[in-house]
Every structure is written in structure tokens, then in C-alpha cells.
């Protein structure tokens, strides 16, 4: 079960799983107009396509019982920091209660053998030391989105450790980029829109440093972890790219301008202080590399380039572009 399947990562996950021969069912809200899910015509790829709100416990349980999934990957969330400031109640209800409902539904569904709860790199408490976070670092969150995901993470830990649901693990990743992301208030989609319309790009945190990771590297880590859970593994796991993929927001804009051969005018947002985010957010993924054999395969420049590919493509062309990238990614994995 792909909870959150109509979202950006959920859509990519559906295509990745289908490419590996899996049957996929999904549970999520309706996608927004012009979404990757609709443009790639993904509804026809699903065994079950449930449109339900994870805040509705009964709807989640009914969907699980009808689909009878063996593996659950929970990515359904209110996933935007600034939206969390605007709607804190909805953010907490979706991210905390929604996670609780998925865990309870898994427990009540006999077919479920393993599950993965996806949180975020923003669950870590900012200690001001500007060093990569490891899985044992304290959790926190200074904004509603980050705090709600930290709460969901702690909730899932309690359920797994006390065996109050089916076996599972927690994945933490962030700043995932890729073709077909049309979300508001994310850098790459905003950058693409500015390039297409020749409008000024508003930068919220130009000097903020992030680990820019292609969505396929991230999702491959999730699937490696699912396999680990099925053989008895558990715990909390970071999935982030290596140091060579660390770059500021301004660096991403500069490289994108070069790749697009289009100078993009920028201006710094005047409301950044009202929507504070960490200036430096990096993960240490040594645990996943050591125990899962996972590491990112797509370097920073390729990740940005692949995220920009398909720019302006029609629906069929966009799906073809994503399928081509999945095929190329298989080549990266085979070369390791």
C-alpha cells in the first residue's frame, strides 16, 4: 500500500514499483490539478486507487481491508513548512493522527507483513553545530511541520518497539528533487515556473545549505529498508546524499540557469523571518551504507539536470521521461 500515492514521491514510487513487477494500491487525497499523478495517467496502474483522508481512521481501515497489502509505505503528509505555519491544526492532525491511523490499520490487517513510516530530515532538533545529524540525535522541531513529523516519528518508534503494530522501520530524508514536481513553495518547481514565465524567482532562504537528492536515490533507499524489515530489521534510518551534494539554494539556482541556458532573475523574500527554517540541514547516512549497502548514485549536477528534464513536456512525454530515468537508474545500480 502506497499511502500518499497521488503526491510527487508517491507517483514516482508507483512507477518504480511497477517497473520491478509489483502490484500497487494507493490511499491518498485527490491530487491537485496538473499533478504528476494525473499527467502521467497513474490511476490505471493501480490495483486499488483509494481516495481517503488519513485523518479519517475508518476510511483508512476500510481501504486496508479491501486492498489486503503485504507491505505498507506511508508517505501521506502535509509536507510543506510554510503551509504548516498557515495551518498548524491541519498539519498536526494529518501528520500525527494520520500516522497513528496507518499504524492501527496495519495492525488490524492480517495480510500486512512489514511497513515503512517516512518522516523527514527536519525531525532533528537544531543544535546549531552545523554537522550531519545521526539517527541517535535528539528530535525536535521549531515549526509546526517539523514538530508534527518529529511527533509522528516518536509515535512510530513507540508502536514498533512495543510491538503494537506490524514490524516496521522509519526512514528520514529530505530535499528530494525530480521531474514532475509541481508543488508550491519548493525551489525546483518555483525555479521552473520562473524560467517558463520569465518572471522573477523569489528566494526564501538563498544561503540555506541542503543535501539535494534525486527522488530515485531516496526511493531506492526506502525499498532497501523494506527488504531489511522483512528479514527482521527495524529502527530509524537516514537517507541522504554524500557531502558532494551539499549546496546552497543560490548554488542550485546558478547551476539550473546554466543547464537551462536561461539567466533567472531572483529576489529575496521579505517574509522569511516569519517562516523560519534551519540554515544548515544535513544527514549522516553511514548506518544505511553499512547495513543496507545503500548510497546515493546520482550526483548533485545529474540530480538537478534530471529534475529539469521534461520541462514543458506533455503528459505522455513526461511519463516517458520518468520511465527513461528509472531505466537509466537501473544502470547506475548495476554498476555499483
The CATH number linked to 41 is: 3.40.50.720
Q: For the chain, give the longest Cα–Cα distance.
A: 55
> What pLDDT sits at residue 276?
65
How many angstroms separate the CA atoms of 104 and 25, rounded? 18
Q: Cα 305 to the chain's mean position, in Å?
A: 19
Phi and psi at residue 62, to the nearest 5° = -60, -40
Inter-CA distances, 20 with 127, 249, 306, Å: 40, 34, 21
Inter-CA distances, 81 with 39, 77, 86, 144, Å: 25, 11, 9, 7
Is the confidence at residue 308, as pLDDT, over 50?
A: yes
Phi and psi at residue 201, to the nearest 5° = -85, 125
> What pLDDT sits at residue 193?
86
Residue 183's pLDDT band, with cuts at 50, 70 and 90, is: confident
In this structure, what DSSP letter does residue 49 have? Answer: E
> What pLDDT sits at residue 34?
85
Q: 225-252: per-residue pLDDT in tens?
A: 999 998 888 999 999 998 888 999 999 9
End-to-end CA distance of the chain: 29
The residue range of the domain holding 138 is: 2-334
Cell 546524499: give the residue.
241
Residue 314's pLDDT band, with cuts at 50, 70 and 90, is: very low
Q: Domain total for the chain?
A: 1
How many angstroms separate the CA atoms of 28 and 73, rounded? 12
> What pLDDT sits at residue 272?
59
> What pLDDT sits at residue 177?
95
**Which ranges constitute the DSSP H helices of 211-278?**
215-230, 249-260
Handedness of CA 82, 88, 92, 93 (dihedral sign): negative
> What pLDDT sits at residue 128?
84
For residue 189, give the C-alpha cell. 518547481
Is the confidence at residue 55, as pLDDT, over 90?
A: yes
Cβ atoms < 10 Å from Cβ of 84:
25
Is the confidence at residue 8, as pLDDT, over 90?
A: yes
Contacts of 198 by beta carbon, 8 Å cutoff, 6+ apart? none
The residues pairing with 26 across neighbouring beta strands, listed in sequence order, are 2, 49
Residue 262's pLDDT band, with cuts at 50, 70 and 90, is: confident
What value does the mean pLDDT take over residues 287-295? 96
Rounded to 5°, the CA angle 176-177-183 comes to 100
How many angstroms separate the CA atoms of 213 and 307, rounded? 10
Secondary structure E strands in 126-226 = 168-172, 176-177, 201-203, 209-211, 213-214
Could you tell me the pTM of the whole model? Answer: 0.93
Name the 3-class secondary structure at 176. strand
Residue 289's pLDDT band, with cuts at 50, 70 and 90, is: very high
Handedness of CA 198, 204, 208, 211 (dihedral sign): negative
Amino acid at each position: 500500500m502506497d499511502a500518499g500515492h497521488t503526491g510527487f514521491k508517491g507517483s514516482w514510487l508507483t512507477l518504480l514499483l511497477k517497473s520491478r513487477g509489483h502490484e500497487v494500491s494507493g490511499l491518498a487525497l485527490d491530487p491537485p490539478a496538473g499533478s504528476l499523478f494525473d499527467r502521467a495517467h497513474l490511476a490505471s496502474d493501480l490495483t486499488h486507487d483509494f481516495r481517503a483522508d488519513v485523518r479519517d481512521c475508518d476510511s483508512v481501515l476500510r481501504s486496508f481491508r479491501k486492498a489486503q497489502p503485504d507491505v505498507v509505505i506511508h508517505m501521506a503528509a502535509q509536507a510543506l513548512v510554510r503551509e504548516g505555519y498557515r495551518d498548524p491544526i491541519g498539519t498536526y492532525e494529518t501528520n500525527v493522527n494520520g500516522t497513528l491511523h496507518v499504524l492501527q490499520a496495519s495492525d488490524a490487517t492480517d495480510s500486512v507483513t512489514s511497513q515503512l513510516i517516512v518522516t523527514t530530515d527536519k525531525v532533528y532538533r537544531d543544535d546549531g553545530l552545523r554537522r550531519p545529524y545521526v539517527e541517535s540525535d535528539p528530535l525536535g522541531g521549531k515549526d509546526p511541520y517539523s514538530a508534527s513529523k518529529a511527533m509522528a516519528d516518536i509515535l512510530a518508534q513507540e508502536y514498533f518497539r512495543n510491538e503494537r503494530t506490524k514490524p516496521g522501520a522509519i526512514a528520514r530524508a529530505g530535499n528530494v528533487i525530480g521531474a514532475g514536481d509541481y508543488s508550491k513553495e519548493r525551489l525546483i518547481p518555483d525555479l521552473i515556473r520562473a524560467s517558463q514565465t520569465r518572471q522573477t524567482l523569489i528566494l526564501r532562504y538563498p544561503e540555506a545549505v541542503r543535501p539535494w537528492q534525486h527522488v530515485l536515490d531516496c526511493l531506492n533507499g526506502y525499498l532497501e529498508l523494506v527488504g531489511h524489515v522483512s528479514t527482521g530489521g527495524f529502527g530509524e534510518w537516514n537517507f541522504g546524499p554524500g557531502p558532494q551534494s551539499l549546496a546552497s539554494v543560490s548554488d542550485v539556482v546558478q547551476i539550473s540557469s546554466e543547464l537551462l541556458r536561461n539567466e533567472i532573475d531572483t529576489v529575496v523574500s521579505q517574509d522569511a523571518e516569519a517562516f523560519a527554517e534551519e540554515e544548515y540541514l544535513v544527514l549522516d547516512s553511514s548506518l544505511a551504507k553499512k547495513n543496507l549497502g545503500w548510497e546515493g548514485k546520482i550526483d548533485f549536477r545529474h540530480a538537478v539536470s534530471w529534475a529539469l528534464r521534461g520541462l514543458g513536456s506533455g503528459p505522455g512525454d513526461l511519463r516517458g521521461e520518468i520511465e527513461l530515468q528509472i531505466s537509466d537508474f537501473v544502470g547506475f545500480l548495476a554498476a555499483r
